[in-house]
Amino acid sequence: MDILNAILQGALLGGVYALFATGLSIMFGVMRIVNLAHGDLAVLAAFLAFTLATETMFPLWLVVLVTIPLFSVVGYLVQRLLITPSLSAGPLATLLSTFGLSIVIQNALVEGFSANVRSLDAGGLASASLGVGGGIALPVVGLVGLAAAVVVIAASQVFFALTRTGRMMRAVSDDVETATITGANSKHVYGVATALAFGTLTLAGLLFATRSSFSPTSGTMTLVFAFEAVVIGGLGSLWGTLLGGLVLGLTQSVVANYDPAGAILAGHLIFLAVLAFRPQGLVPARSI
């Protein structure tokens, strides 16, 4: 029964990893860039939600409704003002730009909130669980995270396949020059893609903040897990990202059942094994 509980808990953890990784996968799939500030932006969203919840006494559902659209707008502006100018200078310039943004966010959070850990009060939701028999109880927050990952990825796929903007994103991803000739505004398309990515990372950050404590430096490890999930699943594949998150979460949870100290290391070893033996990822076909 212990191993079954570890598998179920690992699947829920993997859902959170996949949700974190979805925004990273969208930005890579559309623009072929890796956002090194991804984890720190999720932590920034968590601190904003924490501030709104404690200073204004907004209910949690209202905090979520305010934070996600706000960060989507921030994503559009970051793309137009910071990332777009660096795209013409090559991928290294984009990496340096997002790395610089990461450093600024971390130091600003330490300056504004100190290095103390915090958590987002979700009331009874944080401790609520669903019994499935055999003494196994699944946390409701974890179930919400896994369901949110599936819904967000499915909705993103529908958006890319059926909407004009989504098809423009796919066209720009395949050949930006040809897409521009046919009327696509690549800068606007990239901005919308980044807004979508920021919305998903914000949701992931808020879920993470309700199930665990966070600090200004939590973004680094978050980025590592998200990047590993993307690479394991396959760069640019959203369903692959979900699979990668589940593989990472299951590995960590099952190993922790026998050796808690080796859980994180086991996840990193799976990541390295995929790079060594299947560098295209488990689902190599690009689905964006």
pTM for this prediction = 0.91
The DSSP symbol for 118 reads: B
Locus of tokens 């610089």 = 100
Nearest CA among 158, 36, 233 for reference residue 170: 158
- Those residues whose C-beta lies under 8 Å from the C-beta of residue 96, and which sit 6 or more positions away, are 86
pLDDT computed for residue 285 by the predictor: 60
Q: What is the CA radius of gyration of the chain?
A: 19
pLDDT in tens, 112-151: 888 888 888 877 776 777 877 777 878 888 899 999 999 9
Per-residue pLDDT, 12: 92
Cβ proximity of 193 and 27 under 8 Å: yes
Residue with tokens 């404690």: 54
The confidence score (pLDDT) of residue 92 equals 85
CB-based contact 282:232 (threshold 8 Å): yes
Domains of the chain: 2-123+141-277 (1.10.3470)
| Cβ neighbours, 10 Å, residue 259 | 10
Kindly give the parts of the chain with pLDDT less than 70: 1, 126, 284-288
In sequence order, the 6+-apart residues with CB closer than 8 A to the CB of 21 are 225, 226, 227, 229, 230, 233, 241, 244, 245
Distance, in Å, from the CA atom of 38 to the CA atom of 20, rounded to the nearest integer, reads 9
Report yes or no: 204 and 16 within 8 Å, Cβ to Cβ.
yes
As given in the structure block, the two tokens for residue 262 are 């080796």
- Residue 136 contacts residue 5 (beta carbons within 8 Å): yes
Q: Write the single-letter amino acid at 84.
A: T
Position of tokens 């905090």?
63
Written as six digits, the tokens of 1 are: 């029964």
